[in-house]
Structure 1
């Protein structure tokens, strides 16, 4: 049983947050005496992202990153104080806009649609992000720049600032939910070793008997291609339904 008091835990969490913010916003000068080592925070973050992409977020240990960099763990601590701060740096890098700010005015719908598809691509490229609790993000220059672009694109949305932030959060919730379903589907297929033909083929005789029983009359009338949709098509339908509803509310406001 841990002997750490709630107050001590809160103080450590606060200190950890401040350390992360200092690194994100003010950069870093390695602590300690001696010759300046040949590392940078940017290089450390690059390696951390490579490790997470290869082996998941659980592989992000200071020992593992130091080994990949060919340095001692204590050398790494001169740049990044702990794993949680490292993760904050990694997330801010990944969530930063990947290109220049869009030129010219954008409609709110085009902005949210672009953000949603870009977010989907981001989560599919880094599926371990779905395991990270980002409900209370450490706001660094990368994530703030991304939100700046989004809010600039929502200028023509007739809602209050609070409502706009709620909309951004709702769209991100849709994106993460849709991507999580796809990622989990692909993961279970790989882990089980069963492709779709083998998996659904095993269930086919049981489903045929169930449909012929008369107990599932609506299911029995579904078309043969009812379950042939793609992940992209499912995402598009869901996103359009969300944005169509938002557009109706916007028109009512006007």
Structure 2
């Protein structure tokens, strides 16, 4: 089952996400004195997910990493669901947000794509999360505000701007998952795509009939020789980004005032 954001208690999640912006809770607490902080727990959870993937994130494993008992974590966060929202929002908050290029909205949008690709390279688990209900914390909103600003001057109306950003980020997320999967496969097998192709190529040439599969034979061979693999994920990202930008430029041109 895919992890999804905003799967926990909405009110509890928002209170935790905006904890630094709300009045401090000064009511007496029962039980032992708390020795951790939410920030410490979130940072440790992010590090665990970065190392081993989000599926490996359990409250018990996190507690082991922090050197505490699992039940003590529940005095900070109600459950793993709320913790995942805190983790993603923290990664968004930590994203660099330099001044966007002034050379045109297209270059600004490309910069947004590259920034998200780097985010998913640092935190591959973030690309696996279903975010139809995003964590509406300060990190998410700062990211959204920054990325919307990239479309200034495009001529798109508000709804189309949101649609265009969603379309762009969906492409980057999918490409990032493929890139991470390809790298994980190389690590697991100990060989790169060229080595894999060297192993399967001779046998494939014996069973692949060019007369039966003329297009697959010709085009597959040409693509493999051009990219050095059956599927070059970095090339696929660059190619896809150009096609995505072309689509957004056509959309903007159709909305530009006459």
TM-score per shorter chain, which class? 0.7 to 0.9
Match of 1:246 among 212, 225, 248: 248
2:165 maps to 1:173: no
For residues 110 and 154 of structure 2, the distance between their equivalents in structure 1, rounded to whole angstroms, comes to 14
Tell me the residue number matched to 1:26.
19
How does 1:66-105 map onto structure 2 within 5 Å? 66-102=63-99, 105=102
Task: Describe the SS at the equivalent of 1:80.
Answer: coil
How does 1:31-42 map onto structure 2 within 5 Å? 32-33=29-30, 36-42=33-39
How does 1:87-236 map onto structure 2 within 5 Å? 87-102=84-99, 105=102, 107-193=104-190, 195-209=192-206, 213-222=210-219, 223=222, 225-228=225-228, 230-236=232-238
Cα RMSD of the aligned pairs, angstroms, is 2.7
Task: String of CA shifts for 1:99-136, please: whole Å, max 9, x gaps.
Answer: 34526856321222111111112112212223322221
Q: Which runs of 5+ in 2 are unaligned?
A: 1-5
C-alpha change, 1:34 and 1:203, in structure 2 (3 Å) is: closer
Asked if the contact 2:101–2:108 (Cα under 8 Å) also holds between the matched residues in 1, the reply is: no
For residues 117 and 207 of structure 2, the distance between their equivalents in structure 1, rounded to whole angstroms, comes to 36
Tell me the residue number matched to 1:5.
none
Asked if the contact 1:178–1:235 (Cα under 8 Å) also holds between the matched residues in 2, the reply is: yes
Asked if the contact 1:25–1:141 (Cα under 8 Å) also holds between the matched residues in 2, the reply is: yes
Task: String of CA shifts for 1:197-237, please: whole Å, max 9, x gaps.
Answer: 44223321343245554223334444372343753333122
C-alpha change, 1:220 and 1:251, in structure 2 (3 Å) is: same
Of 83-92 and 209-218, deviating more is 209-218
Normalising by structure 1, we get a TM-score of 0.82
Task: String of CA shifts for 1:135-191, please: whole Å, max 9, x gaps.
Answer: 211210001000010112222121221111111111111111112222222333433
C-alpha change, 1:142 and 1:213, in structure 2 (3 Å) is: closer
2:48 maps to 1:46: no
